[in-house]
Structure 1
């Protein structure tokens, strides 16, 4: 079979004019080969190498036998696709290794622990269950039930597994605001100015502060409208000891584990990788919820047990939220139940 194919390629003879044309044609092939070997394989060589090598192969083949140039051109042409496919596979493997090494270096710098194996297995188990449920609904021709299952799942998760922010604002709506000189032991809400005790230095901009929220983001591909978006690859919140004071006095706060429930950017820079810092500073007026306990006869506010609400927010933002949140909740609840009724009607 190969002999027949080679005979077919060499049955036509090339003359001098045709060889010159084939040599010029090979320059186009050389352009693709240069891009493949320099871009995909990341080889270092002179840019003119293939522009000399390809025409030279065609010319030498003509000198050996005037029936060979067609076979050489075909070989060069096929090599573009062959090395292109191999190069894409190689480039993908190399990029994956480089990205993994860069990620591991990043994790070491920021002391990010690997995801525990049990968490990976749990995530895999949940994914398998979801795919199995979807397959079962498709097999039983009950995919329409997803219109009831998905809203129900969202409602149940929001009720029984609220986010830290939801828990904070829910607790804020229940707790009365205490004065510093009348703090009772237990979960408390205090409003006042912050006062620095143990300043800490922010990791990127090196700003002294009471505490900081630090975030690193990577630029994502532009959306259909050409807008640039970012995805967070690392975040950290760290707070030292500080005081919060009102007109009746001040109380010490151990800021370890404190969460920030306000949107403010104090420093930001970067291009493809963006660095953002938000600070807690002296004289910031904040509302704080934490656990008050006795420390050698002195009151100190800490996180307490791990499930306790412990965070700060801007009081004026909370006032605005408290004013309009009930209206929004009523609207969303009404919309939810109307949607369920419409879905029930459609399904039946």
Structure 2
């Protein structure tokens, strides 16, 4: 350390050198200004470092003509030091601001926090995957991951299907009932909607039978300049309505109804995009729900099963026509891929 200090102070600066060093320090001052104003978010006169840095070099020259070089080196090193500290401080501050904004957003839209049981389950699954990866790597069986991962995906889809998957599977086996012949229990009916209760959508203030509201946040453009959006909030609300066919009509309690169609009725926004889809009078829809008796009258609602949804019949018909072909193709492709992976790895 002493040798380094001796090296810095063994050369003396003359007047011309000091002037050059003072001009050079203006470049350092520019970085200092950006760091302290941008990363540390401090408020100070914009000229401050452009005066202080050259002044330190001038004062050091008046004290000892060998000090200016050490001062310049100190100023130069401080740029990197404070830049690193500033990035850490800025990251902590941004994290706190994003957390506060997210909590404000959650309170506004009444979004509940993720239950700790789900968090623990997610951490447990992640730890199991990491341990499996380490174990297979140590035993030279890392190639088994090519079989385990696809198998895990298939098993999870079979035993833990999404609500949409359950809806589509049930629709494939349920017969379509005429409304005047609806039996108690799980039913599938098709008909035109008729409004009973008017619901006002939250963003565009449109009157409707029900709405699906989605808020999306714009993601940074990819390498090709394409912009994508990620969903940060969804809300579905449906009032009571009727569905009717040529044989009659029946009342539907829309509480808990899921929407399984992707029509967009209203959309606006830039960095934050708002999208609304409505259930409207005379919409022709397919409905699956639980038929029950309400003071002698039939009402369809969400039953003990979590399958209670609505979709467009034409989309369902298209899916039913081509889904078996797609499933056969994907199953065949999956087993061919497994065989090829096994041959390559062995």
Distance 1:173 1:250 in 2: 23
Deviation digits for residues 21-71 of structure 1 (CA, Å, limit 9, x no counterpart): 111100100010011001100011222211121112212222232222112
Distance 2:274 2:248 in 1: 37
Distance 2:310 2:18 in 1: 79
Deviation digits for residues 218-262 of structure 1 (CA, Å, limit 9, x no counterpart): 122222222111111111111111111111221111111111111
Q: 1:5: how far off?
A: 3.4
Q: Which residue of 2 aligns with 1:98?
A: 97
Q: Which residue of 2 aligns with 1:107?
A: 106
Q: 1:330: how far off?
A: 1.3
Distance 1:103 1:270 in 2: 19
Deviation digits for residues 181-236 of structure 1 (CA, Å, limit 9, x no counterpart): 11111111111111111111111222121111111111222222221111111111
Gaps of 5+ in 1: none
SS in structure 2 at match of 1:25: helix
Return the TM-score normalized by structure 1: 0.96
Q: Which residue of 2 aligns with 1:189?
A: 188
Q: How many residues align?
A: 346
SS in structure 2 at match of 1:178: coil
SS in structure 2 at match of 1:12: coil
Distance 1:140 1:169 in 2: 42
Distance 1:78 1:33 in 2: 11
What is the RMSD of the two structures over their aligned residues, measured on CA atoms?
Answer: 1.4
Distance 1:169 1:117 in 2: 31
SS in structure 1 at match of 2:291: strand
Q: 1:347: how far off?
A: 4.1
Given that residues 257 and 310 in structure 2 are in contact (C-alpha distance below 8 angstroms), is that contact kept between their aligned partners in structure 1? yes
SS in structure 1 at match of 2:23: helix
Q: Which residue of 2 aligns with 1:332?
A: 330
Given that residues 290 and 308 in structure 1 are in contact (C-alpha distance below 8 angstroms), is that contact kept between their aligned partners in structure 2? no
How is 1:1-348 mapped onto 2 (pairs within 5 angstroms)? 1-2=1-2, 4-305=3-304, 307-348=305-346
Given that residues 265 and 278 in structure 1 are in contact (C-alpha distance below 8 angstroms), is that contact kept between their aligned partners in structure 2? yes
Given that residues 291 and 308 in structure 1 are in contact (C-alpha distance below 8 angstroms), is that contact kept between their aligned partners in structure 2? no
Gaps of 5+ in 2: none
Deviation digits for residues 317-336 of structure 1 (CA, Å, limit 9, x no counterpart): 11111111111111111112
Change (3 A) 1:68 1:308: closer
SS in structure 1 at match of 2:190: strand
